[in-house]
């Protein structure tokens, strides 16, 4: 399966496979990023969209056996080139979401699916976990890592209602490299001005107050994994469901049908 990264120019010029769901997914995302009445809370994301810093990929059904390898390959391509894409870059992954998944899945089901996908995708990683990132999600400096890069992972689903900031008509992930967030915070005036604006937008966008797990990276009481998938209420999982697969794959072993 050949996986490709696209940018806004590619997609708006219709340089994309013609499957209807792919066209619809991108159009729904573009509408969300450009809505001037209901402004999407994450201002850096809207800037990334406006400046064509975002990259996009299309992935099979997240339940499928093909999905982890597809995610891994797209993240690899993105990681290898992300510093050339712009200071607001993120990787947006749209997943084929069949009707049975879209219309008959609870938020909790999507949460389980999300963590299962991240765990399975880690089994595709051929690089060591970065030495400076703790391997235990219970550590306040833990982040999801793939291909040697640490990422903040955002998940949106068709089942979110109260948190429209986490609603999308398809299962969707957005992966933002830690270096993007570090660079953003290197300009204190910009960061201090934008953060309260983001909170204000969030309060207006959702019909429920901000989730108590939304905190700052590195704070002793912050756990990044809790922010990756926010439930549609104020609850959260008692422990991180992520299970890191440490066994690496090699081209030789793949050729022999083992891993």
Decide: 57 and 6 in contact? Cβ < 8 Å.
yes
Decide: 232 and 163 in contact? Cβ < 8 Å.
yes
Q: Map out the domains of the chain as residue ranges.
A: 8-231
3-state secondary structure at position 124: coil
pLDDT by position in tens, the chain (length 259) = 689 999 998 898 866 667 789 999 999 999 999 999 999 999 999 999 999 999 999 999 999 999 999 999 999 999 999 999 999 999 999 999 999 999 999 999 999 999 999 999 999 999 999 999 999 999 999 999 999 999 999 999 999 999 999 999 999 999 999 999 999 888 878 878 898 999 999 999 999 999 999 988 877 888 999 999 999 999 999 999 999 865 555 443 343 333 3
C-alpha span between 234 and 230 (Å, rounded): 8
Structure tokens at 148: 């040697």
Nearest alpha-carbon partner for 153 in 166, 140, 134: 166
Per the listing, tokens 């019909």 go with 207
C-alpha span between 156 and 168 (Å, rounded): 6
- Written as one string, the DSSP assignment of 63-112 is TSSSHHHHHHHHHHHHHHHGGGS-TT--EEEEE---HHHHHS--HHHHHH
Decide: 204 and 165 in contact? Cβ < 8 Å.
no
C-alpha span between 87 and 177 (Å, rounded): 10
Q: Does the predicted TM-score (pTM) go above 0.95?
A: no
Decide: 182 and 21 in contact? Cβ < 8 Å.
no
C-alpha span between 250 and 63 (Å, rounded): 24
Residues whose CB falls within 8 Å of the CB of residue 1, separated by 6 or more in sequence, listed in order = 60, 66, 69, 70
Tally: H helices and E strands in the chain: 10, 5
For 171, what's the count of Cα atoms within 13 Å in the CB-facing half-sphere? 28
């Amino acid at each position: 399966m050949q996986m490709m990264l696209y940018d806004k120019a590619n997609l708006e010029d219709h340089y994309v496979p013609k499957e209807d769901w792919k066209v619809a997914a991108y159009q729904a995302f573009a509408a969300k990023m450009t809505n001037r009445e209901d402004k999407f809370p994450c201002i850096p994301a809207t800037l990334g969209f406006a400046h064509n810093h975002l990259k996009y990929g299309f992935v099979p059904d997240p339940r499928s056996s093909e999905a982890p390898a597809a995610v891994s390959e797209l993240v690899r391509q993105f990681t290898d080139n992300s510093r050339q894409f712009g200071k607001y870059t993120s990787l947006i992954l749209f997943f084929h979401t069949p009707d049975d998944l879209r219309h008959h899945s609870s938020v909790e089901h999507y949460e389980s699916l999300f963590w299962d996908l991240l765990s399975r995708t880690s089994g595709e990683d051929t690089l060591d976990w970065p030495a400076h990132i703790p391997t235990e999600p219970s550590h306040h400096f833990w982040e999801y890592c793939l291909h040697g890069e640490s990422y903040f992972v955002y998940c949106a689903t068709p089942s979110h209602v109260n948190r429209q900031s986490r609603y999308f008509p398809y299962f969707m992930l957005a992966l933002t490299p830690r270096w993007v967030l570090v660079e953003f915070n290197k300009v204190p005036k910009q960061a201090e001005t934008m953060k309260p604006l983001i909170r204000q937008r969030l309060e207006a966008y959702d019909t429920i107050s901000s989730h108590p797990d939304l905190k700052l990276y590195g704070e002793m009481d912050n756990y990044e994994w809790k922010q990756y998938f926010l439930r549609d209420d104020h609850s959260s999982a008692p422990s991180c469901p992520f299970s890191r697969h440490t066994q690496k794959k090699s081209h030789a072993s793949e050729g022999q049908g083992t891993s």
